[in-house]
Structure 1
Amino acid sequence: MTLTSFVIVLAVVGFFAYIGMKLFPMYMEYYAVRSAMKGLAAEPGSADMDPAQAKMLLFRRLDINNSDNVKPDDVKFDRMDSGWKMHVAYEVRKPLVANLDVVGKFDITQDLTTRGGE
């Protein structure tokens, strides 16, 4: 392997490592949001909460996890027979290089039912 090919391989590996460093926090936040939603669903009485109270409890959990990309407008509630269906759809946009961005669109649904979020 010549020095030129080593530098090219190093540049390619470095570029993909850079992309990974941009994507990793986005997915860590996604898993934190999903975990907060599951934790809220497992809380006793979550099916009987009104949506405003459930949203407040969700954002309290998200504040603990330092999740800043989910906004109150991204959280929707639909009535079900046994409780509520909580739907969170949000987008994360991180700058990559110059005018290129990495965009992550995340969509999570969780049932708030009397069975504890099954």
Structure 2
Amino acid sequence: MKGQDIRRRELETRRDVLTARLGTIEDELDSHQSKDWDDLATERESDEVLEGLGLSSQQELRMIEAALARMDAGEYGACTKCGADISEERLDVVPFTPFCRDCAA
């Protein structure tokens, strides 16, 4: 069973990784300036993939920030829907989850 301090460090580390990833994605999207049509088409395909990764990272980042806020409020580990305790096993797999297994289904 992990303690809340360990989970907080894990969430903060993951937040830092995602923030760095988003910065890299933004830099990459801003760097494309090809004049050649073939290169532009290839860059556009790459941009779509990068944008998808960025959106996914932003969503995870919002969930991590919400989990850290629940920790600060003393509400971490309780389902935000039904109030039941979220199992340690579930928190081990998805430490930012706001829902117990039953409510997530």
TM-score when scaled to structure 2? 0.44
More strand by share: 1
Task: Point out the structure with max Rg over C-alpha.
Answer: 1
More helix by share: 2
